[in-house]
Each structure stands twice: as C-alpha cells, then as structure tokens.
Amino acid sequence: MAVNLDKPQRWKEDVARSVDMYNQWFLDFAPGAFRATRISATASVEASLLATSYLRDIRPETMKKMPNLLSMLRMATCPPIAVDRLIGLAGVNSSLVKTMEKDNRLPVRIAVDSLDRELQKIGETIERMADPDIFVWLARGDEPKQEEIHRAATIVADRLCGAQANPIIRNEQEKRQLAKIKAWLEARGYTEIEAKSRVDFQNMEPGTFSFRLNVKVRANTINIPVDAVIMPITAHKGDLPLLIEAKSAGDFANTNKRRKEEATKMVQLKQSYGDGVNFVLFLCGYFDSGYLGYEAAEGIDWIWEHRIDDMAELGL
C-alpha cells in the first residue's frame, strides 16, 4: 500500500513543512558542525605545513608518504587552484592528481622515476604560487612563529571547508536522519546489526536493521549502498527487507538534478530481486512537486522526516 506517492493533494503542505524543518536544523546545528570540521581541518593543515617545512620544501618523498597533502596545497596558493587548473599549470598527468585528490593515494601503475618528476613539478608549482599574505615567513626567509602557523592553518582550513561545505552539511544531516530512524525502530523492539557484520540483506532476522549495507545487483557484480535495511518483525522466511535511502537537500535545484539516481537504483534492484523489492526514500528539505512527481512515476514511495510515524504504514 502506498504511503505518499499516491496522495498529491498533500504534497504542497508536506513540502512546506519539510523545508521549514530543514531550515531550522540548518540554523541550529550546521554552524556547529562546520566549525567542528574546521577545527579538525586546522590541526591537519598544521601537520601538513610541518611536513613540508612550512611550504619551503615540498618534496616528492613527502607527497608519496602523504598523498592527502594535495588538497591542502591547492588551497595554499594565491589564488587557490582547482584540480584541473593544477594539472594544466604543472603540466602533469591528470590521473595522478585526480587519484591523489579523490582516493588519497598514488596510482598503482606509474614508474618511480616518472612519479618523482611529476610530483616535483607539482611541488614547484605550489611553492611558486604560495600565498605570501598567508605564509608571511616565506618573504622574510626565516622561521615562522607559532601564531603565524596557526593563523595560516586556520585560513587554509577555512578555504578547504568552504570548498567542501555542501558535503560536510550533507554528511551531518545523513547522520542525524539515520539516528532518527534508529531511535524510531528501537522504540518498537528492533535490534541493530552492525554494518561490519557483513550480513546478507536477504538473510536478516525479523526485527533487525542495519545501516549503510551493500546490496549486490546484476548477478552479484555490482554493490549498491543502501542507507537503511530493515527486516520487519512480522516478516516470514523468504521475505525481502525494506530498503530506505535517506535524502536531504538545502535547495530545490540540486534535488531535481539528481532525481534519476533513485530511479536507477530501483530499476537495478527490481531486475535483480523482482517487483517485490520495497525501496523508499526518507526525505527532509527541499523536495518539490516536480521531484515528487518524478519519483512517484517511477513507483518510488517516500516517508517525510517530519512525519516519521508514517513508517508504520510500511509494515514496521
């Protein structure tokens, strides 16, 4: 039985309430989450500065040991350099830079001498473009004072967090949403299975749930990460669990750009496990009628966070 997809008469009111709920959360908690991340980033930048002799000696050996340095180094220049701009300026292999940025590691297949040359060019580019107004000791040619190091690290950390603001907020919101689902389930007698247990979602016991579980599709060749997997207390042998995707958004434009993602997951799941798959969304934020209509047309239902008790209508 559908919960919300077949009730367009109440979508408008729910959208307004969901937007209000997200905005209130953002005002109350997002600044604190951002500050906490910035504090952590500042400490990381200070350690990175020490490893590079405070940007005076960015060696290939250092970057090989600490590939995650690259994001910080890009934010240490004037102006800060985007990934593709660094590739062009330094004249280096794009795969090297993108692997270091995305995966915090070095590419597997690259000759040692070639790697050293590429990293040397990156280091020389960063040293040449290091922001003199932030790293004031470079022009002086002496040792930086502790307050100068901390000030510079704070500025670079702020740049890093500014570039990653949306993912930071999205991650915090997802944690909050999953915590709310957990509290709702445990209040009704459900037991959590830790994700590290690597449970097969088809063999979960009735009355159990797990977060961030991988579900195999396409003849077990692809893993789909699912935010929440719940086996109803009333489930019988052979029943499939309920699959929930937690979604939050701080603007309408972004949700409509990404609305096909859920439809693709639904198609893959049905192809692998049949039409009995129950895949729903858990929404908080800016999801308008255009988004909702698209998901409804794809047969995807949803629960609003501001009306979480509707989860009972899913057989939980």
Dump pLDDT digits (tens) for 2-29: 889 999 999 999 999 999 999 998 888 8
Q: Let me know if residue 213 belongs to a domain.
A: yes
State in Å, rounded, how far the first CA of the chain is from the last one: 13
* Residues 281, 306 within the same domain: yes
Neighbours of 125 (CB within 10 A): 21
Total count of domains within the chain? 2
Q: Is 222 helix (H, G, I), strand (E, B) or coil?
A: strand
* Residues 149, 209 within the same domain: no
Residue ending a domain, choose from 103, 135, 165: 165
| pLDDT band for position 145 (cuts 50, 70, 90) | very high
Residue ending a domain, choose from 165, 199, 228: 165
Furthest-apart CA atoms within the chain: distance in Å: 74
Residue ending a domain, choose from 165, 187, 215: 165
Query: What percentage of the chain carries pLDDT values higher than 70?
Result: 96
Length of the chain: 316
Q: Let me know if residue 113 belongs to a domain.
A: yes
Maximum mean pLDDT: which of 177-191, 229-243, 259-273: 177-191
Angle of helix 146-163 versus helix 11-51 axis, rounded to 10:
150
Angle of helix 112-129 versus helix 83-90 axis, rounded to 10:
110
| pLDDT band for position 270 (cuts 50, 70, 90) | confident
* Residues 93, 183 within the same domain: no
* Residues 19, 44 within the same domain: no
* Residues 216, 284 within the same domain: yes
Q: What mean pLDDT is reported for the chain? A: 88
In the prediction, which pLDDT does 50 show?
Answer: 92
In the prediction, which pLDDT does 220 show?
Answer: 65
Q: Let me know if residue 247 belongs to a domain.
A: yes
Q: Let me know if residue 2 belongs to a domain.
A: no
Q: Is 301 helix (H, G, I), strand (E, B) or coil?
A: strand
Angle of helix 165-186 versus helix 11-51 axis, rounded to 10:
120
Query: What percentage of the chain carries pLDDT values higher than 90?
Result: 50
Residues of the domain holding 288: 8-29+167-314
Contact in structure between 27 and 308 (CB atoms under 8 Å): no
In the prediction, which pLDDT does 135 show?
Answer: 92
- Check pLDDT > 80 for residue 223: yes
Q: Higher pLDDT residue, 89 or 163? A: 89
* Residues 215, 297 within the same domain: yes
Q: Let me know if residue 275 belongs to a domain.
A: yes
* Residues 159, 266 within the same domain: no
pTM: 0.70
Consecutive H or E run containing 294: helix 289-297
Q: Let me know if residue 300 belongs to a domain.
A: yes
For range 32-59, the mean pLDDT: 89
* Residues 179, 307 within the same domain: yes
* Residues 201, 157 within the same domain: no
Contact in structure between 232 and 315 (CB atoms under 8 Å): yes
* Residues 173, 24 within the same domain: yes
Spacing of C-alpha 93 from chain mean position: 26
Q: Let me know if residue 1 belongs to a domain.
A: no
* Residues 117, 185 within the same domain: no
* Residues 133, 191 within the same domain: no
